[in-house]
Amino acid sequence: MIGTRRDFLKGLGLGALAMSLPTPRRAKAQRAVGKPNIIVILVDDLGYGDLSSYGATDLKSPNIDRLIASGMRFDRFYANCPVCSPTRAALLSGRYPDLVGVPGVIRTHIKNNWGYLSPHATLLPQMLKRAGYHTAIVGKWHLGLQSPNTPTERGFDHLHGYLGDMMDDYYTHRRHGINYMRRDGAEIDPEGHATDLFTQWAIDYIEQRSRTKQPFFLYLAYNAPHTPIQPPAEWLKKVKQREPGISDKRAKLVALIEHLDAGIGKVMDAIKQTGIDDSTLLIFTSDNGGQLNVGANNGPLRAGKQAMYEGGIREPMGAVWPGKIAPGSRSRRVALTMDIFPTVCEAAGVDIAHEIDGVTFLPTLLGQNQPDEDRFLFWVRREGGHYGGKAYYAARYGDFKLVQNSPFEPLELYNLAADPKEETPLARNHPMYNKLFTALRNHICQAGAVPWQKYPVNLNEPLSP
C-alpha cells in the first residue's frame, strides 16, 4: 500500500510528499539479499531447565521462547566445556578449546589463569571478513585481557563490551577493581546494568548496519545470568509478587534471567523493525550449565556448571532464519558449540581451508537429511583452586559417554540412551570403556602440544583471593 500511495502522489506532481512516506520494510530487507546477516547470542550460565520453553514453571521467558519457536530447537546441543572461556574459544575457532590453548578459564592473575588463546587460531570474524562481512562483538569477550588477544586484534571490526570474565558488580563493571569495559581500543566507564548496556549497544549496532548494504556478523555475549545474581530491584519485586513461596535465592536468579529475556526481546524487535529479519540467521545458546548453588535449574539432567555430567554441558539452543528454517521445527541431533563455526561459514558462503573439529549442522537447519557423523566428542577443563591445576574430561561416542567429573574421581561409563540421568555406571570391562578411553588418551596427547600459558610466567606475582 505504501508503494501505491507513493506512485499516486508522484502522479499528482507531489514528489516531495511522496518521498516523505516511510520506506517499506521489504525494500529495506532486500538490501541484504545474497549473504545473510548473522547474529550469535551467547548467554552465560543458563541452565537447561531455566527457560519456560525448556520446562521451567516458576520463570517466564517469552522472548527467548518466541525465538526458539520461530525456528529450530535443539534438544541435544552441548557447550564445549562446563565453564566460560573454553566454550567461547570453541565457538570462535571451530576447534576443541584445548587445541587452541584454552583448556580452562582465562583470568586476571597468572597463577589462577588456565588458558592463552593461540596466535595460530583462525577466528570466525576473520573468516567472515573474507566474505565481505562487517564484524562486531558486543558484551563479554573472556579470551584475553590485553594485546594481542583483544577482539579488534583477532578479527572483529568493532568491540563494545567487556574483556574480562565475571563482573564483581553488574552496575560498576569491575573485576578485582579493574575496569575491563571497552569501546574498540578505548576504556569506557558507562552507567547502568550490564545487561541493559549490552542490549542497547547491540541495538545501536543493528540499526547502524541495517542502513548499509554490507552484511554483518554480530556476536552478542551477555554476562547474565552469571554471578553475582544481581537483578534490577523492580524485576525481583515482580517475581516475588508473581511466585508466592519462592525462595529469595531462586527469585533473584529468575529475575536476572527474566531481565535478560526482556533484553533479548528488544534485540529481536530491533531486527524486525529495521527490516532485516528475513535476511538474518540468528543463533541462541549458552556457554555452560546453570550454577546450582545460586538456584539454577538444569531440568532432568545431573549436576550443573563445572560438572562433566549432562547438567554442566547440555544447553538450550535455537536457530532462526525466516524462509530457510521451518518455524516450530525440532532436532535431536548431537551438536556442540564448535559446530557453530562451520555452520555460520557455510551459511555465509565461506570455504574453510584449515583444520577444524566442528561439523556444520546447516543441512539440519534447512530441513535436509543429515545423519549423525561417526565422531568422538571430547570435553576438557583445567582449573586451579582445589583442582590443583589439574584437568578433567569427558568423551562421547554415539550414546556412550565416559566421564571424569573431577581430577580426583574415577572415570565412569554411561549409556545416555538407557540412563539419561547418569545414575548407573557401566562396568569397566564394557567394550566401549576402552574404546572411549583410548580416543580420549589420543586427544590429550594432541592437546598436550598446544601451550595454554603465556610465557614467561611470573609465579612470584601475588594472587588475589
Question: Using an 8 Å Cβ cutoff, are 220 and 202 in contact?
Answer: yes
Cα separation of 267 and 398, whole Å?
37
Is 84 one of the catalytic residues?
yes
Cα separation of 143 and 117, whole Å?
6
Strand partners, 78: 314, 336
Bond prior to 148 in cis (omega within 30° of 0): yes
Q: Which of 81, 134, 142, 173 is labelled catalytic?
A: 142
Question: CA-based Rg of the chain, rounded to a whole angstrom?
Answer: 23
Cα separation of 119 and 149, whole Å?
8
Q: How many residues does the structure list for the chain?
A: 465
For the beta carbon of residue 404, count every other beta carbon within 10 angstroms.
Answer: 19
Q: Find all residues with CB under 8 Å of 247, minimum gap 6, and list them.
A: 295
Could you give the 3-state DSSP secondary structure of residue 177? Answer: coil
Reading the block at residue 4, the C-alpha cell is 501505491
Burial (CB count <10 Å: 0-12, 13-18, 19+), residue 76: middle
b or e along 159-170 (b: 16 or more beta carbons within 10 Å of the residue's beta carbon)? bbbbbbbbbeeb
Strand partners, 397: 376, 400
Of 174, 189, 177, 123, the residue nearest 150 (C-alpha): 123
Is 354 one of the catalytic residues?
no
Cα separation of 206 and 136, whole Å?
10
The residue assigned the cell 610465557 is: 455
Q: Which of 84, 160, 193, 226 is labelled catalytic?
A: 84
Bond prior to 97 in cis (omega within 30° of 0): no
Of 78, 136, 145, 87, the residue nearest 116 (C-alpha): 145
At residue 429, φ and ψ (nearest 5 deg) are -85, 5
Residues identified as active-site? 84, 142
